[in-house]
Structure 1
Amino acid sequence: MGTLRHGTVGRRFTLLYAVVFLLSGMGLLALTYLLSGSQATRVAPGQPPPGRSGLAAAEQHIRDLEGQLSAVHAQQSRQLLVGSLIALVVMAAVSLLLGRALAGRVLRPLRLITAATRRISAENLHRRLAVTGPADEVKELADTIDGLLERLEASFAAQRRFVGNASHELRTPLATMRASLDVAVAKPEPAAPTVALAHRLRTELDRVDCLLDGFLVLARAQHSALADRTVVSLGELAGETLAARATDIAAKGLTVHHEVGPESFTRGSPALLSRLVENVIDNAIVHNDEGGWIRIAIRHDDTAAHLVVETGGRVLDQDEVDRLGQPFERLGADRTGSEESSGLGLSIVSAIAAAHGGSLALRARPEGGLRVTAALPPAADAERGRFEDVDQVEGTTP
C-alpha cells in the first residue's frame, strides 16, 4: 500500500474494507464458537454390561465407547456446519451494510463535486468548486474541473466578444454600401440597370443586416446573463406583434384566430421575450400558404406560461420538424429558398426559452401544418399582482 502513487483515497478504501472484513471474520468465529459450544453433548461414563466379565467384556465396552464417541463427533460436526452457515449468512449481510455505509462516506466528496458541477452552467461559469483538504485524488479531480471551467469561461467570453465585435464591425461596411447605393440612385436620371441593381443589392444588404441582428440575439440568449428580468405579459406581446404584422397578414390573406384566455405572465428579459413572440408569429406568417390560417393561444397553469401558435398546410415529417430548432434548418425547398428567412428564427426562440428556464416544442400536426409551443416559467402571484397594479396606473395616466 505504501508504494501506491497518489494513493491516499486508495489506501483509505483498502484500510476501511480490511477492517470491515477483519471484524466480520472475528464475528463469524465468535458466533460459530457460541453456536457449536451451546449444544455440547455429554457422554456418561460407560458401564460394563451385566452378566459379562473378563477380557471379552472389556473389549465390547471399548467398542461401545468408540461408537458413542463417533456419534458425538458426527453430531458436533453437524452443529458446527449449521452454525457456520448461519454465521456466514448473518455476517455477509452485516458486511454488505457496513461496506455500503463506509463506501458512501468515502465517496461523499465525489458526490458533492458532481452536484456542484451540475449546478454550473453557461450563465455562471465564474463559479468554482474550490475543494479543500488533503492533496489526494478527490482534490486533484476538483482542481482539474476548476481548470476546465476556467478555460470554458475564457472560451465563452472570447466567443461573445467575437460575435458582438464582428457583427458591429460588419455593419459599418454595410452602412457604407447603402450610402453608396443611395448616391448612385440619387443621381439625375440614373440608368434603369443601375436602379434595378441598387434595389437588388439593397434587398441583399437588408438580409445580411437581419442575419447579423439574429446572430447578436442568439449570442445574447445563449451566453449572456439576463440582468433585465421583469414580469412580462405574453398576451400583450402577442397582441403587439399581431398589430405590427397586420399588413403582412393582410397581404397573404391569412385568417388569425387569437384565443385570449386568462392572462399569462412570465419573468424575464422584455426585449428577448418580445423577440421570442415575434419570431414565432413571423414564422407562422412567412411560412404559410396564401389564404391560410393561424391560431394563437396563450395559456397559463401552475407549471408554465404557454404560447401556442398553429398553422395549417401540408403534412410534415416530424424528424425534419425536430431539426428546426437548430440554426439554418428549414423545411423543404420553399423554405430553403425563402428570401424572407435567415434560418435563425426558431433557433433564437429555442435559445431564448432555454435562457429563461423554459422549452420549445415543435410538433407536426397529423392533419397538416405545424404547432409551435413555447413554455416559460410562470411569474409568482405576487409579481403578477404588482405588474397588474402598475399597468392599471399607467392606463389611467392622462
Structure 2
Amino acid sequence: MNCRRTLLFLLCFLSLPALAHKASDSYLVLEVSGSEVRGQWDIALRDIDFALGLDLDGNGEITWGEVRSRHADIDAWALASLKVLRGGVCRLRVTDHLVDTHTDGAYAVLQLAGECPRADGDLSLNYRLLFELDALHRGLLRLTFDGTPHSGVFAPERAELQFVTGQRSRLAQFGQYLVEGIWHIWIGFDHILFLLALLLPAVLVHQDGRWRGVAHFRDALREVLWVVTAFTIAHSITLSLAALGLVQLPSRLVESAIAASVVLAAANNLKPVVEGRRWLVAFAFGLIHGFGFASVLAELGLPQQALVLSLLGFNVGVEIGQLAIVAVFLPLAYGLRDTAFYRRGVFLGGSLATLVIALIWLLERAFDLKLIGA
C-alpha cells in the first residue's frame, strides 16, 4: 500500500504542474566597468501582473497603456529586489522602458544605469525578485565585469553571487551548468511526461491483446536502459548542434513537435503500434527534445571562454535529472506491475491523462492559442 501511495503521489506531482507553461525566468544583463554600471533587465509581464496587478480592466490582456501607467511602481518593485555592491551599495536607476517578446510571451525591458562607491575590488550581486511569491522563479544573469564575461543563475537558495575581479573558475562554471541541467529537466514537464510515457510500459509485456507484468526485473531494466540511452544520445546530438549555432529551428515548430511526441508516446500505450522497439521512438523524438533543451541553454547563455565545459555540464545535469526520475519510478512500478492499480490506474489512466494534456499543449503551440491559464 505504501508503494501505491508513493507512486500515485509521484504521478500526481509530475502531472499537476504539467498544466503550466514555461517556468518563470527573468533575464538580467549587466556590464560593470570600474564604478559604472549599465544593463538591461527583462521581466515577464505576467510576472509583474502577478506581483503588482497590471491588468486594470480585468480583461485578461495587458496593454502598453496599463504598463506605462505603472512605470514608477515597476521601477520601485524591481530595484528593491536587486542590489549591486562594489565598495558599498551601487546606486541604480531605470533610464528607459521598452517591451520585448520572448518565446513564452511579452516582457518589460528595464534599461539600467548606476554608479558604485569604488572603481576596484570584488563585486556582489543580490537578487530577490519574486522569490517570496514563486519558488520556481530564476534570474538568469549575463555579466561583464571589468572586461571579463561571467554568467550565473539566481535562485531562492542562491540569491547572492560573488565575483572576484580578473578571476574565473572553470570548475565553478561546470558545476553551475550541471545544477541548471538537473533543474531544467525537473521543471521541463513536457520532457518528463514524454519520458514517463515511454517508461510506463517498461514493466509490462503486451500478449494476446492484454498487458501483463514482466517476469524479471532485469527485463524491465534492460528496456529502460535502451529507452533512456537512445533518448540521451539523440537529444545530446541536437542540443550540441543547436547550442553551438550549427542548426537552428523555429521555436514554435520545436515546441509543437515536442507536444506531438508526448501525444504519440501516450497514444501508443493505449493502442500499441510500436512494441519492443520503443528505443527507436525515444531516439527519433529525442532529436526534437534536444532543440527544446537548447532553447533553455540559449536563455542561460553559454560563456565563450568555457563553451564546451559549460555545454557538457548542462548535458550531464540533464542526464542526472533523468536518472533520478528513473531511479524513483522503476522500482515502484516493478513492485506494482501485476496489480490492477498499476495496469488500469497508473498505466492506462496515466497514459490517457498524459494524452489529454499533450493534446492541449499541441493545440496551444501549433495554433498560438491559450486554452489553459499560465
TM-score, normalised via structure 2 length = 0.21
Higher-helix-fraction structure:
1
Higher-strand-fraction structure:
2
TM-score, normalised via structure 1 length = 0.20
Q: Quick one: higher RCO (CA 8 Å, sep 6+), 1 or 2?
A: 2
